[in-house]
Amino acid sequence: MFRCILLLGIMVATSAPAAAVVSIFACEPEWAALAQEVGRELVEATSATTAMQDPHHIQARPSLIARMRRADLVICTGAGLETGWLPLLLRRANNPQVQPGQPGYLEAASAVSLLDRPQRLDRAEGDIHAQGNPHIQMNPNNLTAVAKLLAQRLSIIDPDKARQYQTNLDGFLSRWQLAIDRWEQAAAPLKGMTLVVQHRSWVYLSHWLGLERVATIEPKPGIPPGSGDLARLVAQMERQPADAILYAAYQDDRGVTWLSEHTGIVGVELPFTVGGSEVAQDLFGLFDDTLNKLLAVAP
C-alpha cells in the first residue's frame, strides 16, 4: 500500500514538468511538423490525421475529442477544409482555451492569401470552399508565414519562453529560406510543365513553380469520376497530352491508373504532406521528395 502511494507520488512528481510542455493539436501532419520545428522541445505536437487520410473526410472520433480536451493550442488549415469535423470537435472537447477567437486557436490559412476563390458559391460546383483553395502547404513560402504566426501565438500562450520561440523561429526560417532557394533553383526545368490532377490539391505548388493544370480527374471537387469523365479526359489528352498526372498519397489512384494506361501519361504519387512517402518524413523531405518526383518526369 505504502509502495503504491510512493509510486503514485513519483508518477505525479515526474509528470509535473511534462505539463509545462505546450500540447499542440494539429489537424494535419504538416502543421504538427511545423509546430515541432518552431516549438522544438518546448512543445509536443500531434496530428489528428495522417498523410494517408483525406482531411475533408474525418469523423469527430472519441480519441480526437479526448486529445483536444488537453490541448493548449489547436492549429488547423481552416478555410473550410475541416468544416465537417473541426467545429464538432471544438464543441465536444469542452476546452475553452482553444475555441475560435482565443490565442490557442490558429487557422493557418489566415496567414496567407488564398488562391482559387470560387466565383460562384453553389454546391452544384462540388465541395468547394468559399474562402479559396485550402491546400496551402504545398508552397513553402506559405509555411514561412504560418511559422511566424505560430511563433507569435506560442509566445502568447507560453510567454516565459517567448525568447526561445523567437530563436527557434529564426533558426528554422534561415534553414527554410536556404532550402527554398535551393528548391527554386532545382525546379527551374519544371516551369511550364502541364499537369492533370486528381483533385485541386496542387494550386499553390503550381503557382510557386509555374506549373500548369490542364485538367482535373474529379469532375467536381469531391465527386469521383465516372467513365464518361475519364473518356473525355482521354480525348482531351489525345489532342493535347499533359506531362504528368498528379495525385496525393491518400487519394484514390484508380482513375489515375486508368487514365495513365489509356494515354501513356505517367502518374506521379506525391506525398502532399509529411509522412506521405518514405522520404517525406519532415517538411524538408516533403519538398525534396515532391521536387525529385516531378523532376524525374519533367519534359
Partner 1 sequence: MYIRRVVIVLLGAVSGSTVTASELTEIDLLRDELSEIRQAYEARIQALEDRIESLQHAPEKSVAVTDVAIPEAAAVQEKPGDFNPSIGVVLVGTAAGFSPDNEFAVPGFMPGEEAGQGEDGFSVGESEINAKANIDDRFFGNFTLAVADEDGSTEVELEEAWFETLALPHGLKLRGGRFFSGIGYRNQFHRHADDFVDRSLPYRVFLNGQYLDDGIQARWLAPTDLFVEVGAEWLRGAKFPAGGSGHDGKGAWSLFGRAGGDIGVSHSWQAGLSWLSARAKDRDSGDGDNFDGDVDLALLDGVWKWAPSGNPYRNNFKLEGALFWQNQDGVFTPDSGGALDYDEDQWGGYLKGVYQFMPQWRAGMRYAWVDTDDPGSAFTGTSLDTLGVSPKIYTAMLDWSHSEFSRLRLQYSRDDSDVKAVDRFYLQYIMSLGAHGAHQF
Binding site for partner 1 (CB under 8 A): 49-50, 52-54, 57-63, 65-67, 69-70, 80, 83-85, 87-88, 91-96, 99, 101, 110-113, 123, 126-127, 145, 148-149, 151-152, 155, 162, 165-166, 169-170, 173-174, 177-178, 181, 220, 222-224, 250-252
111 or 242: CB nearest partner 1: 111
Minimum distance from residue 235 beta carbon to partner 1 (Å): 24
Spatial neighbors of 88 by CB under 8 A, at least 6 apart, are: 60
Question: Interior CA angle at 20 toward 17 and 4, to 5°?
Answer: 35
55 or 243: CB nearest partner 1: 55
Judged on CB neighbours under 10 Å (0-12, 13-18, 19+), 200 is middle
Minimum distance from residue 93 beta carbon to partner 1 (Å): 7
224 or 241: CB nearest partner 1: 224
Cell, residue 146: 504560418
38 or 245: CB nearest partner 1: 38
The neighbour count for residue 12, using CB atoms within 10 Å, is: 9
Minimum distance from residue 193 beta carbon to partner 1 (Å): 25
Minimum distance from residue 173 beta carbon to partner 1 (Å): 7
CA distance 133 to 202: 9
69 or 262: CB nearest partner 1: 69
Phi, psi of 75 (to 5 degrees): -120, 120
Q: How far, CA to CA in Å, does 280 sit from each of 56, 147, 249?
A: 21, 19, 11
Residue 73 · residue 154 · CB < 8 Å: yes
Minimum distance from residue 194 beta carbon to partner 1 (Å): 27
52 or 266: CB nearest partner 1: 52
Minimum distance from residue 237 beta carbon to partner 1 (Å): 23
Minimum distance from residue 90 beta carbon to partner 1 (Å): 8
90 or 193: CB nearest partner 1: 90
Q: What is the 3-state secondary structure (H, E, C) of 114-143?
A: CCCCCCCCCHHHCCCCCCCCCCHHHCHHHH
CA distance 202 to 35: 22
CA distance 167 to 39: 10
